[in-house]
Amino acid sequence: MSTTVTEKPIEPEAGSRRGLLHGLPWLVVRQHRTALVCVLGLTLLCALWIVYERHELIQLLDARGWPEKDAGQPLENHRGYEYITSILGGLPLILAVFIGAPLIAGDQENGTAQLVTTQSVTRRQWLIAKLALAYTLALVSGLVLSALFTWWWKPYRSVFLSEWIDGVIFDNTGPVLPAFLLFLTAAGVTIGVLVRRVLPAMVVTFLFTAITTMFVWDEVRVRLGSTQMFTYPLDGELPDRFAESYEVDRWVGSADGTLYGWGTCAEATEKAQDACIREHGIVNSVIEYLDYSQMAAMQWTAAGLLLAGTALLTAITLWRVSRRPL
Amino acid sequence: MADTSTPNATSGSWALEARGLGKRYRRGWALRDCSFRIPAGRICGLVGPNGAGKSTLLGLATRQVQPTTGELRVFGVPVDDPAVMPTFAFLGQEKPLFKRFTVAETLRMGAELNPGWDAVAAERIVRSGNVPPHARVGTLSGGQRTRVAFALAFGKRPDLLLLDEPMSDLDPLARDEMSTLLMAEAVERGTTVVMSSHMLTELEDMCDYLLVVAEGRIRMAGDADALVPAHALVTGVTRDGALPPELDLHTVVETRLQGRQFQAMIRPKGPLPTDWETAEPSLEEVLLAHLRSPDAPSLYTQGARVEAEGTQAA
């Protein structure tokens, strides 16, 4: 203390002591501020765009006298709709690969995990702050975009190109989008913690996300609700109320209820076909379907599954980080 | 200084106290059966070849690594208790810092994460090295970055400062500057310093306590002033080309045959034959002899040994 230099404290960045954030939250926000700004910016951009496109759609539908008159396919080859759905489709990948995977792996690789956990904060406190940041980001982004997209789609779903069961609608509305973002972010974090290197972690996370969203989830989605059967005369028309139902399978059936595959009597000639129908005693058409009314329950089931997965991955991350050296 | 070597039985006066401490990785034991004590207020050198377990020992003391066996106490508090966190500061080999943070932000991090942050001291250390506070850490030179890391460590006001090869990547000028800074700050506050190093001369200049590790075990622990005089470097004539049997009366650390002569580093247990030439070795010679012969019996000076399970006889 021999120096007599006027010890005016070095003023840290503007608003240092008066800022809202202190301690670990300040640190993680400062560390990840670029990523935060990017994701929140993308979310805001996409949100405003949805609001604009919804407004445009309403004007167009009004001009065409919808719903009394047929409005055609206003969203076919519609650039705005395509971009918005690509952003929504790409968001899980962005969050998992660019936020989740490097979240802990980056600090492990640079040694800053050691730096932070040899200050007066425990590993667990640090990890919780990190996860809180990533999960909050995923949740905020997911909730805002899902709410807006649902608000756009639901009243005008009949003019949308995709069915409710399609990934572009089912996964981007209701509780599914936030849950999906949380799950994939957690997956990215866990992969990062296990791999401990940023680049390999990002590659593995990319592959995991791609496989999950493109193959696995398509199989899971249609199995979230229990299908129902509807039987109607072979030469009859399917009632209108099934317009929004998703047809899982189609059968033909005899009077006693035996079901045969749809193509059982697909013969070359009508004569042969009639003979086949008579032989099996087929009198009914049967559809196996998922009704639109099941959508909400299926979406909550999906969200439940994804949140359970998130909880499991979080537990693995916490367990791994508290046991192994960083 | 001599009276500090054996503090009273109260464990608070021991900066570090290990009992049967061991860490096993998949490849085997990195550290085994370590029992030792380091008194508070000392500058302790941690010496040993690469892979001897120095970094593991520092990792255990900084809670980065969890022990497989045994226990370690920092000022009497078990190291797994989060209450020890504010009492120590650690400066790793790589001196990791957030490269995109400015110097001021790095110090703010110290203030945000440490309850007893000493902003004045941290800023003084940074300022005295003319490190621009608004420069990003990634743009600083190696010496400047080390200075910022030191500022972060001392700003924490630690009672125990743990350093893992702190000077290894510095040029001679910066090394000298940092050593001076380290000694000045440590002496001013009475901070206990434990530093691992390869530079034996650096240790000789700075340390008054030594912990020598080889092959995962403690070879020597104690006062530098007491460890060296315990040894003698003797030269004598061989008997029929072999070592004389009188040598077995003493603790032999290392022997070397040169034609008709032998040279041995021993710890005398009694009077030496008059026809032997005896010299007092330097610290460096003692350390090198111990590092070259990891099988030599270990040596603890008074107080450095913990009377506990898992210690081997000297």
Q: What is the pLDDT of residue A18?
A: 56
Residue of B nearest to A12 (CA): B104
Residue of A nearest to B118 (CA): A9
Chain A residues in contact with B160 by the CB 8 A cut-off are none
What is the layout of strands, in order, in the sheet containing A228-233? A228-233, A282-290, A246-254, A259-261
Q: What is the pLDDT of residue A4?
A: 44
Helix/strand/coil for B20: strand
Please indicate whether, in this complex, the C-beta atoms of B85 and A326 are within 8 angstroms of each other.
no
State CA A23 to chain mean position distance.
Answer: 32
Rounded Cα distance between B69 and B16, Å, is: 16
Residue of A nearest to B132 (CA): A10
Rounded Cα distance between B160 and B272, Å, is: 41
Please indicate whether, in this complex, the C-beta atoms of A118 and B114 are within 8 angstroms of each other.
no
Cis peptide before B132 (omega within 30 of 0): no
Please indicate whether, in this complex, the C-beta atoms of A23 and B113 are within 8 angstroms of each other.
yes
Residue type at position B194: V
Q: Which of B62, B94, B112 sits opposite A23 (nearest CB)?
A: B112
Chain B residues in contact with A112 by the CB 8 A cut-off are 96-98
Q: Using 50, 70 and 90 to split pLDDT, how confident is the model at B302?
A: confident
* Mean pLDDT calculated for residue range B222-236: 86
Chain B residues in contact with A30 by the CB 8 A cut-off are 101, 105, 109
Please indicate whether, in this complex, the C-beta atoms of A112 and B90 are within 8 angstroms of each other.
no
Rounded Cα distance between B224 and B262, Å, is: 27
Q: What is the pLDDT of residue A127?
A: 93
Residue B311: phi and psi, rounded to 5, are -105, 145
Closest CA relative to residue B129, chosen from B93, B181, B179, B170: B181
pLDDT under 70 in chain A at which residues? Answer: 1-18, 326
Rounded Cα distance between B231 and B253, Å, is: 9
Please indicate whether, in this complex, the C-beta atoms of A121 and B85 are within 8 angstroms of each other.
yes
pLDDT tens-place string over residues B157-193: 999 999 988 887 778 888 888 888 888 888 888 899 9
- Which ranges in A121-266 belong to alpha helices (H)? 123-153, 167-170, 176-195, 198-211, 217-221
- Listed in sequence order, the residues at least 6 apart from B227 whose beta carbon sits closer than 8 Å to its beta carbon are B210, B220, B283, B286, B299, B301
Residue B281 clears pLDDT 50, i.e. is over it = yes
Q: What is the pLDDT of residue B314?
A: 36
Q: For chain B, what percentages of helix, strand and coil (3-state, to nearest 5) are there?
A: 35, 30, 35
Average pLDDT for chain B: 84
Helix B119-128 vs helix B103-113: crossing angle, to nearest 10: 160
Please indicate whether, in this complex, the C-beta atoms of A114 and B133 are within 8 angstroms of each other.
no
Q: Which of A1, A7, A120 sits opposite B113 (nearest CB)?
A: A120
pLDDT tens-place string over residues A2-15: 444 444 455 444 44
Residue of B nearest to A21 (CA): B112
Q: How many residues does chain A have?
A: 326
Residue B140 clears pLDDT 70, i.e. is over it = yes
Chain A residues in contact with B156 by the CB 8 A cut-off are 119-120
Helix (H) or strand (E) holding A236: none
Strand partners, B195: B45, B163
Residue of A nearest to B93 (CA): A111
What would the two tokens of residue B34 be? 């370590």
What would the two tokens of residue A249 be? 């399978």
A116–chain B Cβ distance below 8 A for any pair: yes
Q: Using 50, 70 and 90 to split pLDDT, how confident is the model at B12?
A: low
Q: What is the pLDDT of residue A137?
A: 95
Please indicate whether, in this complex, the C-beta atoms of B64 and A26 are within 8 angstroms of each other.
no
Q: How many residues does chain B have?
A: 314
* Mean pLDDT calculated for residue range B258-280: 86
Chain A residues in contact with B65 by the CB 8 A cut-off are 325
A19–chain B Cβ distance below 8 A for any pair: no
Residue B310 clears pLDDT 50, i.e. is over it = no
Please indicate whether, in this complex, the C-beta atoms of B96 and A110 are within 8 angstroms of each other.
yes
What would the two tokens of residue B23 be? 């860490």
Please indicate whether, in this complex, the C-beta atoms of A115 and B127 are within 8 angstroms of each other.
no
Closest CA relative to residue A184, chosen from A168, A164, A162, A204: A204
Chain A residues in contact with B109 by the CB 8 A cut-off are 27, 30, 119
Q: Shortest Cα distance from A48 to chain B (angstroms)?
A: 32
Q: Shortest Cα distance from B122 to chain A (angstroms)?
A: 10
Rounded Cα distance between B213 and B291, Å, is: 8
- Which ranges in A174-294 belong to alpha helices (H)? 176-195, 198-211, 217-221, 270-280
Please indicate whether, in this complex, the C-beta atoms of B188 and A119 are within 8 angstroms of each other.
no
Chain B residues in contact with A110 by the CB 8 A cut-off are 96, 99
* Highest averaged pLDDT of the listed ranges A103-117, B41-55, B223-237, B291-305: A103-117
Q: Which of B107, B113, B181, B188 to mutate to test the interface with A (most CBs of A within 10 A)?
A: B113
Look up the pTM and report it. Answer: 0.84
Please indicate whether, in this complex, the C-beta atoms of B104 and A24 are within 8 angstroms of each other.
no
Query: Per CB distance under 8 Å, which residues of B are interface residues toward A?
Result: 59, 62-66, 82, 85-86, 88-90, 92, 94, 96-99, 101-105, 107-110, 112-115, 119-120, 123-124, 126-128, 133, 156, 188
Half-sphere exposure at residue B131, Cβ-oriented, CA atoms within 13 angstroms: 32
Rg, Å, chain A Cα set: 27
The count of other CB atoms within 10 Å of the CB of residue A43 is: 20
Q: What is the pLDDT of residue A309?
A: 96
Residue B230 clears pLDDT 70, i.e. is over it = yes
Residue of B nearest to A109 (CA): B96
Rounded Cα distance between B87 and B75, Å, is: 8
Which tops the pLDDT comparison, B145 or A4? B145
A1–chain B Cβ distance below 8 A for any pair: yes
Q: What is the pLDDT of residue A68?
A: 84
Residue B4 clears pLDDT 50, i.e. is over it = no
Q: Which of B101, B109, B137, B187 to mutate to test the interface with A (most CBs of A within 10 A)?
A: B109
Helix (H) or strand (E) holding B93: none
Which tops the pLDDT comparison, A3 or B98? B98
Q: What is the ipTM of this complex?
A: 0.82
B307 in Cβ contact with B19 (< 8 Å):
no
Rounded Cα distance between A122 and B87, Å, is: 13
Please indicate whether, in this complex, the C-beta atoms of A114 and B127 are within 8 angstroms of each other.
no
Residue of A nearest to B188 (CA): A1
The count of other CB atoms within 10 Å of the CB of residue A322 is: 13
Chain B residues in contact with A1 by the CB 8 A cut-off are 188
Q: Chain A window 25-64: which residues touch B at a Cβ cutoff of 8 Å?
A: 26-27, 30-31
pLDDT tens-place string over residues A106-161: 999 999 999 999 999 999 999 999 999 999 999 999 999 999 999 999 888 888 88
What would the two tokens of residue A265 be? 């009597």
